[in-house]
Amino acid sequence: MTNPKVSIIIPTYNHAVFLRDCLQSIIDQTMQDWEAIVVNNFSTDDTEAIVAATNDPRIRILNFSNDGVIGASRNRGNAEAAGEWLAFLDSDDKWRPCKLANCFEAIDGATDVMGHGLAFVRDGQVIHHQGSGPETRATLREMLFQGGCLTPSAALVRKSLFDKLGGFSEDPAHQTAEDYELWLKLAFHGASFKFIDDILVDYRVHENQASNKSLIHMRAGFAILDKYYKVLDRRTLIDWMRYRNRIASVYHGAAKNCHFAHRHLKAYSLLAHCLFVWPFYIKAIVDGLSGFARMRKK
């Protein structure tokens, strides 16, 4: 039996309500040269039964405790993967049927990372579409100062390069932002990114994001930004200004999430930190003066 073209790694924990649709979206692919590895963080729901019910030998399950680090689950799946390429699919998302076919039609010998567009879906309704890339954004400098430009469920990575660079970070300091660290690491090591405009994944939006998770994500963002700013080649005054602005944007994002979680004092504290780091961050000034009125309209 020959190795599959692509190994699909699906970390999951108590997502049985979504997992059936997720796996069916893989089975329905027009390109069938794949294997899927469900890395189950010892779910207490019907996860194992749902995987077994697919009755597809290309889909298998690994039980693995990740101690809260999703990158560890993805790395564990990679350790069992036999494909030339890796694809990552969150268990609450699903792919469009032509996802793999369209990506591999565009991939060439120079491509290391492939990204595409996605649809944000809430309660079965598409909220909006978002593209990935473009290539000019997929550099260390631009992703460092503007944020990542792709997401795991909408990306494929050449396995040989993923292995060479050590895969996802399992550093607890990077928890919740392991994917961002991976994109920066790939860019730092000269990976070739390619993007297509096709909308090929439905990305499920949840309403129950906890403010304490947002603070964990904020701290992870700071750790990653610090790590890669230090290795940036030939830093300039403009780089320093963009870096301060980027730090401010992370504070601002956490402030918004705390506001939505009704932690208003914490939100204003984070806005104050934002403006201390970069006094010219206009969004924070407007939100602070308006009591987040603009945010309520977003």
pLDDT tens digit sequence for 218-255 = 999 999 999 999 999 999 999 999 999 999 999 999 99
Percent of the chain at pLDDT exceeding 70 = 95
Q: What's the whole-model pTM score?
A: 0.93
pLDDT at 20 over 60: yes
Compute the distance between CA of residue 227 and CA of residue 204 in angstroms, rounded to an integer: 30
Domain 6-204, CATH among 3.90.550.10, 3.30.70.270, 3.40.50.300, 2.130.10.30: 3.90.550.10
Among candidates 224, 286, 214, 227, which has minimal Cα distance to 255? Answer: 214
Query: Reduced to 3 states, what is the DSSP secondary structure of residue 186?
Result: helix
Mean pLDDT value across residues 31-44: 97
Q: Would you give the distance in Å from CA 105 to the centre of its chain?
A: 23
The pLDDT of residue 206 is 66
